[in-house]
């Protein structure tokens, strides 16, 4: 523990905000200077506003009662507090847990298996899924939006006249989701040397442990490597394109079976339950899995395989586990979780 504390000094000096522009941009993780966006979908205030309205609108579902926000709740890090949601139009439990939507602009591959390559294609999956929003007839959806005066007004403000189109809808949703930036936690204040950014000795020790024991999976200021790993949850999975096969469902390669996208650790204390199927209710249970519950298999990540002197998993003492739990709590970004600008239209700017 003393060695860990010695390796964790105070955060670096504050980084000045980007120059130019009348309005300040979003607060970004340390070392990141801009929010990336494709050339064919640059963000505009009107496009973001439309995307926000669509994100919270039940009009996108077949029964008119389910929105994106039904499964992605802001106060829960744009995730859901139940393991396998049943709030979709089918009322049936989903196969996978609703992932948190945090810092998506920097994600390479989306969904637990990377089934969407970019934010412009992301929303099409849940909108058409029979147990999520159930909108299989996309033309009927566009007709519904075209007959809704507020929708028409918002689409025209963002993209001009001509009526709502599917492409415009997906681009607007992507623009809004790129604004879901979390970088105002106590950890971030500490890293930037800003007021309110004090970390205790135990929390700093936990930071050191994340950087030594939890990398490369939870690396960089995004706290994810954007890759796919088998972290020892199971030894048997689905076959072919079955959703329980993990990354292998997309690539159809045997070596990708059982691998899932590394989620960010940001706001992790507020996004329970955990793993792709929400099987762990608490962070304590997650760490106990890595300490004692890793299941060996042919695709288990090499960092978890252990050796002749060490069992599979991540060796952690009780003190180290306590330090990790303390640090993970510093990644909670209350400003992000309650920002009116990210909530339903009419609740803030």
Binding site for heme c: which residues? 68, 71-72, 214, 217-218
State how far the Cα of 279 lies from the Cα of 116, in Å rounded to an integer: 23
**Cis-peptide into 152, omega within 30 deg:** no
Cα dihedral sign, 43-44-49-50: negative
**Cis-peptide into 244, omega within 30 deg:** no
State how far the Cα of 174 lies from the Cα of 41, in Å rounded to an integer: 9
Cite the annotated binding site by residue number: 68, 71-72, 214, 217-218
Q: What is the DSSP string of 323-340?
A: HHHHHHHTT--HHHHH-G
Q: Phi/psi at 57 (nearest 5 deg)?
A: -95, 125
DSSP one-letter code for 307: B
Other CB atoms within 10 A of residue 221 CB = 17
Please say whether the beta carbons of 79 and 70 come within 8 A: no
Residue 99 CA to its chain's centroid (Å) = 6
- Please report which residue ranges of 239-341 form alpha helices under DSSP H: 248-251, 283-288, 318-329, 334-338
Q: Alpha-carbon dihedral of residues 286, 290, 294, 298, nearest 10 degrees? A: 110
DSSP one-letter code for 39: T
| Best CA proximity match to 50, nearest among 125, 145, 185 | 145
Largest CA distance in the chain: 68
State how far the Cα of 252 lies from the Cα of 233, in Å rounded to an integer: 20
What does DSSP say about strands 260-261 and 228-229: parallel, antiparallel, or unpaired?
antiparallel
């Amino acid at each position: 523990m003393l060695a860990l504390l010695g390796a964790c000094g105070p955060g670096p000096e504050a980084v000045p905000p980007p120059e130019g522009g009348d309005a300040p941009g979003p607060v970004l993780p340390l070392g990141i200077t801009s929010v990336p966006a494709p050339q064919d979908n640059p963000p505009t205030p009107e496009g973001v506003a439309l995307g926000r309205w669509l994100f919270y609108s039940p009009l996108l579902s077949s029964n008119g009662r389910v929105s994106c926000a039904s499964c992605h709740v802001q106060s829960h890090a744009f995730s859901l507090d139940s393991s396998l949601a049943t709030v979709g139009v089918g009322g049936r439990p989903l196969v996978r847990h609703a992932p948190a939507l945090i810092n998506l602009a920097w994600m390479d591959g989306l969904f637990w298996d990377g089934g969407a390559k970019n934010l412009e294609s992301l929303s099409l999956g849940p909108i058409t899924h029979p147990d999520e929003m159930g909108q299989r007839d996309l033309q009927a959806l566009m007709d519904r939006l075209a007959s809704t005066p507020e929708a028409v007004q918002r689409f025209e403000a963002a993209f001009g006249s001509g009526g709502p189109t599917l492409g415009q809808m997906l681009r607007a949703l992507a623009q809004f989701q790129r604004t879901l930036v979390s970088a105002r936690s106590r950890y971030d204040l500490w890293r930037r040397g800003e007021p309110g950014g004090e970390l205790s000795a135990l929390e700093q020790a936990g930071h050191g442990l994340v950087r030594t024991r939890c990398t490369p999976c939870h690396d960089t200021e995004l706290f994810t490597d954007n890759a796919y790993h088998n972290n020892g949850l199971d030894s048997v999975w689905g076959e072919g394109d079955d959703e329980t096969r993990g990354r292998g469902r997309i690539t159809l390669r045997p070596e990708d079976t059982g691998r899932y996208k590394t989620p960010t650790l940001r706001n992790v204390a507020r996004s329970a339950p955990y793993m792709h199927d929400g099987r762990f209710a608490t962070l304590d249970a997650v760490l106990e899995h890595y300490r004692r519950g890793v299941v060996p298999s042919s695709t288990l990540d090499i960092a978890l395989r252990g050796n002749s002197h060490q069992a599979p998993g991540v060796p952690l003492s009780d003190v180290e586990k306590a330090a990790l739990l303390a640090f993970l709590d510093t990644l909670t970004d209350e400003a992000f979780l309650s920002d009116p600008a990210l909530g339903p239209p009419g609740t803030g700017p």
